[in-house]
Amino acid sequence: MKTALITGATSGIGKATAYKFATEGIRLILCGRRKERLEELKNELGKKTDVHIESFDIRDRKKVMEILTNLPEEFSEIDILINNAGNAHGLEPIHEADIDDFEAMLDINVKGLLYVSKAIMPGMVSKKSGHIINIGSTAGKGVYPNGNVYCASKFAVDAISKAMRIDLNKYGIRVGEVNPGFVETEFSVVRFKGDVEKAKKVYEGFQALKPEDLADILYFIVSRPAHVNIADVLVLPTAQASNYILNRKT
């Protein structure tokens, strides 16, 4: 049985992936900030597979290293790392934006991803086996108006993924990234700081991707034979042609 660690597992793509992996018999380490949600997932998914939960903020470097380098023995050998935790805060031009929003996006999307990877990668290197998938975004492939720092953070994920693949190549470790376009999750509620009505308008007039769509893709990637590495996937809803072109029906 393979063991997968998923960050940002309490909602959206991370949660859907946890369900998909559990159904396919993958042992799970689920990480997130919301402990109650993690406990609910453990109670439900524990009926399908072995589940271990850890509640922490990936921005906390010391906590990340302390927890992830001291996992229970039965969960200590990680085969799959899904670096899913990420966020967007605000949608303003740089000169009008809140600097705290800059900090949050860079700390979570870039530094947090690096902290988690730094904690997990030595074990994969030691056994010369493993699979890392970083969740990027179309925002990491092209900049859009007012996306500035969020786009920069996802461009960084793209660069880190490519660099990881080079660094880890000699150890037989697979590294890939999945870059979704519009996915209907709590993402926009966070971006607009709890304004649910504003968030709903982001997805009006077209069929956005669902978290389950990405979960299916992630399982497909990790279930390929060891000699196959799906390195870079761009996933769009049919209505989306680019960051600029979206076919809304309203």
- Catalytic residue list: 150
CA separation (Å) from 182 to 159, 245, 250?
21, 12, 17
170 alpha-carbon distance from chain centroid: 25
223-245 burial code (b ≥16 CB/10 A, e <16): eeeeeebbebbebbbebbeebee
Which residues, 6+ apart, have CB-to-CB distance to 37 below 8 Å? 10, 11
Give the neighbor-by-neighbor strand order of the sheet with 131-135.
Answer: 51-55, 27-32, 3-6, 80-83, 131-135, 174-180, 232-235
Residue 175 CB burial class (10 angstroms; 0-12, 13-18, ≥19):
buried
179 neighbors 140 (Cβ within 8 angstroms): yes
Amino acid in the structure at residue 237: P
Cα separation, 247 vs 238, whole angstroms: 9
193 alpha-carbon distance from chain centroid: 20
